[in-house]
Amino acid sequence: MEAFQLLSRGGSRFDKNRFKADFSLFNKSKIQDLQNKDKHDSKGGELPSELDFFKYAQGGSGKRKISWGAAGEDDERKAKRKKVKRSQEEDYSDGGGEGEDDEKAEEEEEEDGAEQTPTVPKHRVTTKGTNVPEHVDSFAALKERYQIPSHIISNLSHNGYMQPTGIQSYGIPVLLESRDLAAISPTGTGKTLSYLIPVLCALGSPTSSVRSDVGSGVRAVIIAPTRELAHQIHNECLKLSQGRKWRIVLFSKATASTLADKSVRDKVDIIISTPLRLVASLQGGKLDLNNVRHLVLDEADRMLDSEFFPQIEEILASCTHPNIQKAVFSATLPAGAEKVVMEMLHDPIRIVVGLKDTPLPLISQSLTYVADDPSKLPSLLTYLAQPYNPPVLIFTSSQPRATSLAEELVLNGIPNVDCLHAGLSKKEREDAVSRMRRGESWIMVSTEVMARGMDFKGVREVINYDFPTSIQSYIHRIGGPHSFYQPPASCSFFLFKCTGRTGRAGRDGKAVTFFTDEDGPYLKAIANVLVQSGSQVPEWILKLPKPSKMKRRSMGKVKRPEFINPARKIGRGDAIKKRCIIFPLVTSRFELITL
Ligand X SMILES: Nc1ncnc2c1ncn2[C@@H]1O[C@H](COP(=O)(O)OP(=O)(O)OP(=O)(O)O)[C@@H](O)[C@H]1O
Q: What residue ranges bind ligand X (CB under 6 A)?
A: 161, 163-165, 168, 185, 187-193, 331, 453, 455, 480, 483-485
Exposure b/e, 357-379, CB count within 10 A at least 16 = b:
bbbbbbbbbebebbeebeebbeb
Closest distance to ligand X from the beta carbon of 442 (Å): 20
In whole angstroms, how close is the CB of 492 to ligand X at the nearest point?
17
**CA 240 to each of CA 197, 258, 523: distance values in angstroms, whole numbers, following the listed order:** 8, 24, 42
Minimal distance, residue 190 CB to ligand X, in Å: 3
Task: Tell me: cis bond preceding 391? Omega within 30 of 0 counts.
Answer: yes
Query: What's the min distance (Å) between Cβ of 243 and ligand X?
Result: 18
In the bound state with ligand X, the residue whose beta carbon lies nearer, of 56 and 329, is: 329
Q: Report in angstroms how near the CB of residue 188 gets to ligand X at its nearest.
A: 4
Nearer to ligand X, 235 or 469 (CB): 235
The nearer residue to ligand X, 291 or 441, going by C-beta atoms, is 441
Least CB distance from residue 439 to ligand X, whole Å?
A: 15
Nearer residue to ligand X within complex by CB, 197 or 445: 197
Nearer to ligand X, 57 or 471 (CB): 471
Q: For residues 132 and 139, give the distance between their C-alpha atoms in angstroms, rounded to a whole number.
A: 19
CA distance 218 to 102: 38
Cα dihedral value 42, 43, 49, 52, nearest 10 = -20
The answer to whether 570 touches 412, Cβ cutoff 8 Å, is no
Pairwise CA distance, residues 480 & 460, whole Å: 11
- Comparing CB distances to ligand X, the nearer of 93 and 185 is 185
Bridge partners (DSSP) of residue 43 are none
Cα dihedral 510, 512, 513, 515, rounded to 10, equals 160
331 vs 409 by CB, closer to ligand X: 331
Under the phi-then-psi rule, with left for phi > 0, alpha for psi from -120 to 50, and beta for the rest, what region is 331? Answer: alpha
Phi, psi of 111 (to 5 degrees): -60, -40
Residue 510: CA count within 13 A, CB half-sphere: 17
Q: Nearest distance from residue 469's CB to ligand X, in Å?
A: 17
Least distance between ligand X and beta carbon 423 (Å):
22
* Nearest-approach distance from CB 393 to ligand X, in angstroms: 12
Q: Closer to ligand X at the Cβ: 129 or 188?
A: 188
Nearest CB to ligand X, comparing residues 161 and 522: 161
Burial of 589 (0-12, 13-18, 19+ CB in 10 A): middle
Contacts of 52 (CB under 8 A, 6+ apart): 58, 540
Nearest approach, Cβ of 496 to ligand X (angstroms)? 9
**Least distance to ligand X from the beta carbon of 297, Å?**
12
Residue 485 to residue 502: CA distance in whole angstroms: 13
| Residue placing its CB nearer to ligand X in the complex, 87 or 483 | 483
The helix (run of H) or strand (run of E) holding residue 152 is helix 150-158
Beta pairing partners, 401: none
Cβ distance 239 to 159 under 8 Å? Answer: yes
* CA neighbor of 331 nearest in space, from 534, 536, 190: 190
The DSSP code sequence of 126-141 is: EEESSSPPPP-SSHHH
Nearer to ligand X, 270 or 414 (CB): 270
Q: Report how far residue 165's alpha carbon sits from residue 154's, in angstroms, rounded to the nearest whole number.
A: 17
Which ranges in 163-308 belong to alpha helices (H)? 166-176, 191-203, 227-240, 253-258, 262-265, 275-283, 300-303
Q: How far is the CB of 296 from ligand X (least distance, A)?
A: 11
The residue among 240 and 279 lying less far from ligand X, judged by its C-beta, is 240
For residue 88, the minimal CB distance to ligand X (Å) is: 20
- The DSSP string of 276-304 is HHHHHHHHTT----TT--EEEESSHHHHT
Q: State the DSSP code for 215.
A: -
The two beta strands, 349-353 and 125-128, are antiparallel
Q: How far apart are the first and last CA of the chain?
A: 40
Comparing CB distances to ligand X, the nearer of 71 and 449 is: 449
Smaller CB distance to ligand X: residue 226 or 281?
A: 226
- Asked if 175 and 334 count as a contact pair (C-beta separation under 8 A), the reply is no
Q: How far is the CB of 222 from ligand X (least distance, A)?
A: 12
